[in-house]
Amino acid sequence: MTTTHTPGPWKVEPLNADRVVIRKPDGGVAANCPAHFPADAALIAAAPELLEALYAALPLVEDAAVFLKDDFKPGYLAGIVRASDSAIAKAEGR
């Protein structure tokens, strides 16, 4: 696990009528977004917790891909592992 970002929780706060900011726990600004894209702001704010959840879940899915692969559609769990690895790499800037 290579975490260099500010840990969450991050919160969405209105800045003005046109912008929202995503605040880090220390009050600093992680990002800002147009206020008319609230789903984007919510996703950005959730990013640290989503990454931590993915770190926690990935070993379980990797084990399931080995030990339970016959219980699922061929390639299903391996696809989840690949997608998870890819998302983690993107979040870590690799």
- Alpha-carbon span 82 to 3, nearest angstrom: 19
Residue 6 has pLDDT above 90, yes or no: no
Peptide bond into 38 cis (omega under 30): no
Q: Which of 34, 59, 43 is nearest to 10 (CA)?
A: 43
Which pLDDT tens digit goes with each residue over 31-59?
999 999 999 999 999 999 999 999 999 99
pTM: 0.83
Share of the chain above pLDDT 90, in %: 79
Which pLDDT tens digit goes with each residue over 63-78?
998 899 889 999 999 9
DSSP 7: P
pLDDT at 2 (0 to 100): 56
- Alpha-carbon span 32 to 16, nearest angstrom: 11
Decide if 39 contacts 46 (C-beta within 8 A). no
